Amino acid sequence: MVISLIGYMGSGKSHISKILSEKINFRLIDLDKEISKRNKLTIPEIFEKKGEIYFRKLERETLEEILASEENLVLSLGGGTPVYYNNMEIINHNSKSVFLRTSVGTLVERLSKQKEKRPLIANISDKDLPEFIAKHLFERNQFYSKAQFSVGTDGREPEDIVNEIIEKLYL
């Protein structure tokens, strides 16, 4: 089984996937880290040097390779991965997809502390961040809502979120 975690940046995909993979003894792959490793560049460097279109092509190729070759895997996807090409259909066809649903308020709180690591929001002022996230999340929710499972994350401990994912996938 492959479990794909999707959601907006800052929703906790990397953190939750690490705990989930350890708890169920599955291998963990973070798609962005895999792309960085294969290209010997950070995601911000790829965006800066080659552009978002180039990145999205790399992302698609890497996603397809991983989904075609892996079993017993937790795959943490980038926030934009489900939005491009027909990635969401491929994700649902080749894995169990779980949307980590997180409110705009929680996302703003988390992301305002990590802007320099996030190419899409690095140049957005703190004042404009809530509106940007709300608009972006609204646009992406049509893709995120195609996930097979949805788990709310606001105000919850990571362990509780992981337990709910396990319960939904195994019962």
Give the residue numbers of the binding site. 10-15, 32, 56, 79, 118, 140, 156
Binding-site residues for substrate, in ranges, read 32, 56, 79, 140
Measure the CA–CA gap between 51 and 140, rounded to whole angstroms. Answer: 20
Supply 37's token pair.
Answer: 């490793």
Binding residues for ATP: 10-15, 118, 156
| Binding-site entries for Mg(2+) | 14
Q: What are the start-end ranges of the E strands in 7-95?
A: 27-30, 73-76
Distances (CA, A) of 75 to 16, 17, 114: 11, 7, 22
Question: Is 7 in a helix, a strand, or coil?
Answer: coil
> What's the CA gap between 79 and 76, in Å, rounded?
9
